Structure 1
Amino acid sequence: MEFNFLDFDVIKGEEIDLFLVNTVPGNKDKNWVPAYHFDIYLSGSSESIGKIDIRIGYNENLYYGGHIGYTVKEEFRGNHYAAKAVLLLKKVAHAHGMEKLIVTCNPDNIASRKTCEYVGANLVKIVDIPEYNDMYQRGEKEVCIYEWVLC
């Protein structure tokens, strides 16, 4: 089945906006799903304060790697911008018929854990990453698995 990217060039929020940087098609050989990549901007600003992406679909890789990845520049942290960006991505997930998302982070990444809790995701468990997974091969050994049921 062919995947069609939808029109999400800009997603406006109250404090932040997401601007589409690129889309990445899935890769069956690597078990990758299609993804949208956005830069995060303060509303009305011309300087990116971070990045966020969303992966569309469900597979084992996403159980460990999650549907959403984000980073906020250090000088802008502490304002819930990552969580606000995650909440804006709900539109993308809904448009693709997704009812829940997995968000993962390292157990010692307290800021990301708080972001998951802020958006209403529930910690399912902390799991060991299998040795065959590319995250394990990059040095990751365990991950927190959060489930975010979209309303």
Structure 2
Amino acid sequence: MTNAISTTFSLNEPIVGETLALVLNRVLDEHEALEGVPAYLFDIVFHDGTRVGQIDLRLSDAEPLVLYGGQVGYGIDKAYRGHSYAVEACRLLKTVALANHYHQLWITCNPDNHASIRTCEKLGAVYVERLAVPRGSELWRRGDREKLRYLWLLD
């Protein structure tokens, strides 16, 4: 997989779902993104424009990313948690992943992040393993010590 950005979907139009939409916030270059790979960063919004969180798609198959960082990152603002908005946002992000020729994505989370674990389960992502985060890595410096890995098949 290359790190090239695809524009086969419209960057100017929201990706609209039943309850939420994804609105492109910006394209992160390799100097801004986790593990130095380009990524799409979307705001997760209600149809009225109220922001409830963010989600990003990291465009690489680099080993540190698929093992520890994950190709998908999401966060729901505290006031909006508990409604499966991350699940809907991931399903909307699938359009972007497929446009970039991804047919599977790795999602990682900390072992104590029960909401993220539940998101992976609701997506049908398969638990693969628990790994120690390498000392000195970007995630280690952030305080992460272990990651759970899930494989999400998009087809």
TM-score by length of 2: 0.89
Q: Report the identity percentage.
A: 38
1:54 aligns with 2:77: no
Look up the SS of the partner of 1:93 in the other structure: helix
Contact 1:52 1:68 (C-alpha < 8 Å) held by counterparts: yes
Greater length-normalized contact order (CA 8 Å, ≥ 6 residues apart): 2
Distance 1:31 1:65 in 2: 8
Equivalence for 2:139:
135
Contact 1:57 1:98 (C-alpha < 8 Å) held by counterparts: no
Q: Which runs of 5+ in 2 are unaligned?
A: none
Q: Which runs of 4+ in 1 moved over 6 A?
A: none
Question: How far is 1:96 from its partner?
Answer: 0.8
The structure-2 alpha-carbon separation of the partners of 1:57 and 1:16, relative to structure 1 and needing over 3 Å to count, comes to same
Given the alignment, which residue of 72, 76, 83 partners 2:87?
A: 83
Distance 1:99 1:12 in 2: 21
**Code of the aligned partner of 1:108:** D
Distance 2:81 2:143 in 1: 25
Equivalence for 2:150:
146
1:104 aligns with 2:84: no
Equivalence for 2:99:
95
Given the alignment, which residue of 8, 18, 21 partners 2:22?
A: 18
Question: How far is 1:5 from its partner?
Answer: 4.1
Distance 1:49 1:86 in 2: 14
Equivalence for 1:114:
118
Question: How far is 1:24 from its partner?
Answer: 1.3
Distance 2:143 2:35 in 1: 20
Q: Which runs of 5+ in 1 are unaligned?
A: none
Matches within 5 A, 1:22-33: 22-26=26-30, 32-33=36-37
Equivalence for 1:124:
128
Distance 2:30 2:71 in 1: 13
Equivalence for 2:38:
34
Distance 2:94 2:111 in 1: 24
Contact 1:40 1:48 (C-alpha < 8 Å) held by counterparts: yes
Number of residue pairs aligned between Structure 1 and Structure 2? 148
TM-score by length of 1: 0.91
1:71 aligns with 2:72: no
The structure-2 alpha-carbon separation of the partners of 1:2 and 1:47, relative to structure 1 and needing over 3 Å to count, comes to closer
Question: How far is 1:92 from its partner?
Answer: 0.7
Distance 1:3 1:46 in 2: 29
